[in-house]
């Protein structure tokens, strides 16, 4: 993993934010819908596990799986984020 100076990191974050601003409305809505669906599935998973096991803490521990899935699938990331070489 390469080290980035804070100035470089801020510049790359601003560039990523700018690419999200110029993303088409259609793409933004599709990504938002898919992210909501993934979080809804994570909530259903957490409730199901809580009810089946009888231990609500297990569901509470497993709910963040949805956030991990969002991060790993990069569904909130702009197309420039996944295609530009400085993000790899």
SS3 content of the chain, % helix, strand, coil (to 5): 80, 0, 20
Give the model confidence (pLDDT) of 37-87 as tens digits. Answer: 989 999 999 999 999 999 999 999 989 988 888 888 875 554 444 444 444
Q: Which position has the higher pLDDT, 6 or 83?
A: 6
**The predicted structure's pLDDT at residue 16:** 85
The CA distances from residue 50 to 58, 60, 64, in Å, are 6, 8, 14
CA 45 – CA 53 distance, rounded (Å): 12
Tens digits of per-residue pLDDT, 9-33? 899 889 988 888 888 889 889 888 9
Residue with tokens 């809580």: 50
Find out whether 36 and 69 touch, Cβ atoms under 8 Å: no
């Amino acid at each position: 993993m390469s080290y980035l100076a804070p100035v470089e990191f801020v510049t790359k974050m601003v560039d990523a934010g700018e690419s999200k601003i110029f993303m088409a409305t259609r793409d933004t809505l599709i990504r938002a819908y898919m992210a909501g669906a993934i979080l809804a599935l994570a909530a259903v998973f957490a409730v199901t596990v809580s009810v089946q096991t009888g231990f609500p803490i297990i569901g509470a521990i497993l709910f963040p799986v949805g956030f991990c899935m969002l991060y790993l699938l990069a569904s909130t990331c702009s197309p420039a984020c996944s295609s530009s070489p400085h993000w790899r």
